[in-house]
Chain A
Amino acid sequence: MLHINAVDSGANAPASIKKSSFSTIANRFGVFLMIGALFIVGAFASPQFFSASNFLNILSAVSILGMVAAGVAFVIYCGKYGDMSVPMVMAISGVISVELMRYGLVPAICGAVATGAVIGCVNGVVIGKLKVNAIIWTLAMNFILEGLVRWSYKGEQIYPDMATESTYQTGFLLPLMHSLDSHIMEIDLVKRAEAFNGLAQTYFFGRIPLMLVVMVCVMAACYFVMSKTAYGNQLKVVGSSYDVGNMSGIRATSVVMGAFMVSSICASLAGVFITSINKVGAFYVGQGYDFQAVTAIILGGMSLAGGRGSIIGVFGGVFLMGLISNILTLFGVGTFTQKMISGAIFIVVVAVNARSLRKLGRDDA
């Protein structure tokens, strides 16, 4: 579909307009064409491919990625290339939620989201105000947070049902909680840990996982904000051209800051769920999600130059990632090779996208 784009910059003006509207549709919904093609491949791969349970499996496998990608999409939409601090935001909010789980699920999730919001705020201020290169700053932030998590836990992991006296010597909030609340040792930790671990094992109607529902809700909220609100429009202007946005009365700094906050909040929500799946909070739980999120977003037709694309496309990209991995598994391809293939797909898609947009003279990505 991207080739069509490259060809149709013809001299014939009316025809070109007509074609370009077609190519816009192809560009916007190209990911769904790829999904259709993979459906055909999948039908040959296995007779079980077209079953409800397989599709539920695909969707629940990518629901964490979906939450992360919905947030990172805001960063890419405002032209900042990506948020590399996502893995450690996931890890740190997972750890915080495990610590706060002693007081129930609601404080745990609220604490995690608040942590994400604070980190996103710091990222946003530095990147929006000082115009640092977003990737370098978020990478540095990732390293700082990694050091913080590993240092405060002395390299150990934290299990939800772990409650010896020494547990309360390390951590972010645990020593503080221990000194403030003398009854903390009396909390029925096994029951609380079960509730926390059960987050990932909660099903609606017996088969639709809670994670999937949350992912769809996050996607829907992000779609609403990006496409239907004034903030979304400002984001589009700032993403297309920072200076134009700034000069047309938009507070570009706060818009960029908001994008990074959305990204971190979504990542922290994903962090709570991935910690609940793994039943352990550790510094490495989010590894690789930064790259996967960017891949899904690019596959979904969002331009790295900013200001183009939609959350519907991102959802398609996330689903496509799940579909590729599912079909490769059905064909018996190993995990390591899958990693290689997903990297190669990413590079090819980005290269083709950049080349065709450059030929149209539309882009500098």
Chain B
Amino acid sequence: MLKNINRNNLISKGNDNRIYVFLAIVFIVLAFAYPAFFSSPNIKALTTTCLLPILASIGFTYVMIGGNFDLSIGSVINAGSVVCMGQFNQFFRGFGGDAGGTGALVGAWALAFVCAIAIGVGIGALNGFLVAKVKVHSFIVTIGMLTAVSGFVYTYSNGNTISVNSYALVDVIDKSVVSLPYIEMITPRFLVMVAVVAIFEFVLVKTRWGYDLFMVGSNKESAFQAGINTEKKVFLSFVISGFTAAISGALFAVSMNAAVPNYGERGIAPLMMVLASTIIGGTVMTGGSGSVVKTAFAVLTIQSIFNGLISMGMGFDAQVLSAGVLLGAVVFYESFSLYRQSLRKGERPALLKEAAELRRGLSAGSGT
């Protein structure tokens, strides 16, 4: 009996940290199959591709821990990038363009980022209000928001790519802090990502607010009975999701020096990337468990697989297939284990054992 419990604990612990096992396996396989994988330029390229999905998945993980879903994330990323670029152009012109010097540049970028974040937070707040207060199911709200926001993005950009003529900020945020091999992947954009992940992981794991969010996700009723303002928690989780999605889109657009209204439509959809990495990273679909850091490592795992596939000369298509199959397999596994658990619901192991002993005793008694 005791042995059995220990084994189960070990399995569940292994499942909780499965993402590190996955990552190790992927790294080992790639190290043999693709020797250039651990070269410094490749590591830098790999971390750069991870930045957008990691930032966007922070908020998604929060929403999912709270027991909801935010499918509008792809549109919000586009909204953040398009608004950031478009508003920069307007403000920069307003401040006198190139004649304004550094002051105009800094001011315009700051205001553009404020606008992008405001759009993201606004959309998140609307989502959160509809889910928490009006009590509409989060899928339905965010699917509607997905369409409405993507209509807004197309209207704002007129369906065109918005580009920026100033390269000043790109040069800063994508420049290596120290240009030594393997340390060159540390750029200001990378540091922003690490800081945001650290802050949100800290809030989740070390603060009262984070504990409460876990409680809301695992059992809303008991969280309410324990005096937690569940509506506020859910609302804020959506606001955080809008915030991180918008900021990831804005930073990505800055690094590309251009914003497109349909990022990922013909390539790999950000929603797919974020959903897959959040679920593979161990966040439970029904809420109440998860971690921002594990999600970030899941993004790294998936991007490493993509990196390996590219090195084998495969395009987007094989990447979409591999991520889809991985997501499908993990969802299936999770739901299968939930199904097994639900079959055992209400089972009393001690009572069963007693009954079995009783039966054995009875049959032994009848035998003699």
Interchain CB contact under 8 A, B148 and A144: no
Q: Please tell me if B111 contacts chain A, counting CB pairs below 8 Å.
A: no
Min CB–CB distance A203 → chain B (angstroms): 32
Min CB–CB distance A334 → chain B (angstroms): 8
Partner of B321, one of A148, A341, A343, A358: A148
Interchain CB contact under 8 A, A284 and B266: yes
Which one, A27-35, A45-53, A65-73, A345-353, is touching chain B? A345-353
Nearest to B158 among chain A residues (CB) is A336
Count contacts between A and B, CB distance < 8 Å: 157
Provided the pairs A137-B335, A140-B331 are in contact, do residues A294 and B143 lie with their beta carbons within 8 angstroms? yes
Partner of B324, one of A143, A153, A337: A143
Interchain CB contact under 8 A, B285 and A341: no
Q: Please tell me if B136 contacts chain A, counting CB pairs below 8 Å.
A: yes
Annotate B138-156 by CB proximity to A: 1 below 8 A, 0 otherwise. 0111011111111110110
Residues of A within 8 A of B (CB): 81-82, 126, 129-133, 135-137, 139-141, 143-148, 150-151, 153-155, 284, 287-288, 290-291, 294-295, 298, 304, 334, 336-344, 346-347, 350-351, 354-355, 358, 364-365
Q: Please tell me if B49 contacts chain A, counting CB pairs below 8 Å.
A: no
Q: Within 8 Å CB of A137, what residues of B?
A: 331, 335
Q: Within 8 Å CB of A354, what residues of B?
A: 134-136
Nearest to A156 among chain B residues (CB) is B317
In the docked arrangement, what's the CA distance between A126 and B338, Å? Answer: 12
Provided the pairs A136-B285, A137-B335, A291-B146 are in contact, do residues A150 and B316 lie with their beta carbons within 8 angstroms? yes
Q: Is the interface of B mostly helix, strand, loop or mixed?
A: helix
Cβ-closest 8 pairs across A and B: A343-B148, A147-B321, A340-B151, A339-B151, A143-B324, A343-B147, A336-B154, A150-B317
Min CB–CB distance B323 → chain A (angstroms): 7
In the docked arrangement, what's the CA distance between A153 and B272, Å? Answer: 20
In the docked arrangement, what's the CA distance between A132 and B158, Å? Answer: 40
Min CB–CB distance B308 → chain A (angstroms): 16
Interchain CB contact under 8 A, B147 and A339: yes
A-B contact pairs, 17 of them (CB 8 A): A81-B137, A126-B332, A136-B331, A143-B324, A145-B324, A146-B324, A155-B316, A284-B265, A298-B140, A336-B151, A339-B150, A342-B148, A343-B150, A347-B144, A350-B136, A355-B135, A364-B135
Min CB–CB distance A144 → chain B (angstroms): 4
Q: Within 8 Å CB of B137, what residues of A?
A: 81, 304, 365
Interchain CB contact under 8 A, B143 and A140: no
Given contacts A287-B265, A354-B136, 4 further A-B contacts (CB under 8 A): A136-B69, A291-B144, A343-B147, A347-B141
Nearest to A357 among chain B residues (CB) is B135
Interchain CB contact under 8 A, B136 and A132: no
Interchain CB contact under 8 A, A344 and B148: yes
Interface residues of B in 263-322 (CB under 8 A from A): 265-266, 269, 272, 275-276, 279, 285-286, 315-322
Q: Within 8 Å CB of A129, what residues of B?
A: 339
Min CB–CB distance B287 → chain A (angstroms): 11
Q: Within 8 Å CB of B327, what residues of A?
A: 140, 143-144
Provided the pairs A343-B147, A350-B141 are in contact, do residues A144 and B328 lie with their beta carbons within 8 angstroms? yes
Q: Within 8 Å CB of B336, what residues of A?
A: 130
Q: Please tell me if B366 contacts chain A, counting CB pairs below 8 Å.
A: no
Q: Within 8 Å CB of B152, what residues of A?
A: 340
Q: Within 8 Å CB of A154, what residues of B?
A: 315, 317
